[in-house]
Amino acid sequence: MGTRGRERMKQSSLSIDTLREVVRTLPKNGLTPSREAAVAHLDEHGLPTLRDEDWKYTDLSPVVDISNRWLTAGGQQQLPKPPSETIAAITSSIDAAWLVISNGTIDEQSVGALKQKGVEVSRFSDAPSEFVMSRPLADLNAALLQDGLRVRVTESIEKPIGILIVDRAGDSVAVAQSCVEIEVGSGVSADFIEYHASEGDADHYANTVLSIAVGDRADVRHVRIQNRSVRHVQTGRTSITAGREARLRMASYDLGGGLIRNDVDIDISEPGADITFDGLYLAGDGQHIDNHTRVDHRVGPATSSQEYRGILKGNCRCVWNGKAIVHKGADGTDASQANHNLLLSDKAEIDTKPELEIYADEVKCSHGTTVGQLDETALFYLRARGLDKRHATQILTHAFAADIVLRAPVAGVKDAITAIVEARLAELIEADAAADLLS
């Protein structure tokens, strides 16, 4: 064992033996071989640690701790379901045909109810895909996954497909895995909404793996909303492959959650792709939100454009790392990355880093990051019009977020996002006002 292995041993690590036992109790089905392969992969590589460059700002100890406690307790799979009102409140706020996964269990009824022309939904257990495992945490997902969903869209659809991943932590610690593979056929236009929510007081760790294969000339819009309890932990990996002249508009909103780590990988291996992906994260006391994105431009011409914005208040930390790799020969690539942060208190911390690696000749690449406070001049202007300091702060903070909210590529979700953003910002700024009174 090399030094790396020994260092890992010093940090608390996932208990592989217990994991193996729990995996053995899962029902034997088509997923059994991939589970075993995933356990072997985990055994060899472990979970990422702070020593890994891509993970140096995000300590996964809570993931290890929650997972070990849950595994030791037997790794119960049939966890308490979120109340139907919780689910209904979400599904009725956004018009979509919803597939529901709660605490890692696919809701059969929601699968049965989804009857849209041109949409096929199937389970991994019916036709498992081969286990290809190179990404951290995707192995943990594959090891413990009860079942995955595969959604194929072969004809353009009007109504968005919603994927609701909703968890409830009842009396005891819980872990839930979900995995969804989306395939959008050539020339097909489709909208997707991915919604994460959780409730309950016990510790909870959710791990999601999502892939979207955007077909040639397909036109896909994807909105991800993460509104989990600030007590809960989530890691998620989204992998995108773009076909020839594929168009993708994606926006991601992290509005809740305690410890959140998102990895987005976009692979452009066919010419003509046009991709934008934007993000917004709001963090308050005790929250940690880490967004790592990576775009591989393997061929040109293609466009990728990214803008993430963050609003941080109180004792919290956010990370943005945007990597764009323009491979040799990917001439005609146009890649831009931006990350802007509003720090509403001096305890908030942001690590922001664009990374451009260019190996092609004819490319247009740009990046920009900013970290700042509210514009004092604008604040004074609003106060000079009679708005009190708190109201002025609220307006300017909203305006900062509004740009990204308005970019949500699916029109029907804007109201729902706005409502959550408004409520969350009011909480954050309210806390600010309370702190002002105390100081």
User: How many beta carbons lie within 10 A of that of residue 2, not counting itself?
Assistant: 6
Q: Which is nearer to another protein, 88 or 419 (CB)?
A: 419
Q: Which is nearer to another protein, 56 or 383 (CB)?
A: 383
Is there a cis peptide before residue 62, judged by omega within 30 degrees of 0? no
Q: How far is the CB of 150 from another protein (least distance, A)?
A: 40
Interacting span for another protein (CB under 8 A) from 18-26, 125-133, 393-401, 414-422: 393-401
Q: Which is nearer to another protein, 320 or 400 (CB)?
A: 400
Phi, psi angles (nearest 5°) of residue 408: -50, 120
By CB under 8 A, residue 403 contacts another protein? yes
By CB under 8 A, residue 395 contacts another protein? yes
Q: How far is the CB of 383 from another protein (least distance, A)?
A: 4
Cα 182–Cα 186–Cα 191 angle in degrees, nearest 5: 50
CB-based contact 194:221 (threshold 8 Å):
no
Which residues on adjacent β-strands are paired with residue 181? Answer: 150, 211
By CB under 8 A, residue 400 contacts another protein? yes
Size of the site for another protein (CB under 8 A): 22
**Pairing mode, if any, of strands 259-268 and 233-242?**
parallel
User: What's the rounded Cα separation, in Å, for the pair 204 and 149?
Assistant: 22
Question: Which residue intervals of 178-262 are DSSP H helices?
Answer: none
Q: How far is the CB of 82 from another protein (least distance, A)?
A: 35
Interacting span for another protein (CB under 8 A) from 169-177, 205-213, 250-258, 398-406: 398-406
CB-based contact 404:428 (threshold 8 Å):
no
By CB under 8 A, residue 114 contacts another protein? no
Q: What mask of x and - would describe binding to another protein in positions 353 to 392, judged by CB under 8 A?
A: ----------------------x-xx-xxxxxxxxxx-xx
Q: How far is the CB of 405 from another protein (least distance, A)?
A: 10
Q: Which is nearer to another protein, 26 or 387 (CB)?
A: 387
Q: Which is nearer to another protein, 145 or 382 (CB)?
A: 382
Q: How far is the CB of 406 from another protein (least distance, A)?
A: 9
CB-based contact 317:350 (threshold 8 Å):
yes
Q: Which is nearer to another protein, 51 or 391 (CB)?
A: 391
For 18-153, strand residue ranges (E) read 97-102, 105-106, 119-123, 149-153
Q: How far is the CB of 423 from another protein (least distance, A)?
A: 18
The residues, any chain, with a CB within 8 Å of residue 24's CB and separated by 6 or more, are none
CA distances from 110 to 88, 91, 98 (A): 12, 11, 7
User: What's the rounded Cα separation, in Å, for the pair 118 and 172?
Assistant: 41
Q: How far is the CB of 310 from another protein (least distance, A)?
A: 16
Gyration radius (Cα) of the chain, Å: 22
By CB under 8 A, residue 399 contacts another protein? yes
Q: Locate 173 and state its tokens.
A: 């610690």
User: What's the rounded Cα separation, in Å, for the pair 69 and 62?
Assistant: 10
Q: How far is the CB of 437 from another protein (least distance, A)?
A: 15
By CB under 8 A, residue 402 contacts another protein? yes
Q: Which is nearer to another protein, 306 or 393 (CB)?
A: 393
Residues making contact with another protein (CB under 8 A) = 375, 377-378, 380-389, 391-392, 395-396, 398-400, 402-403
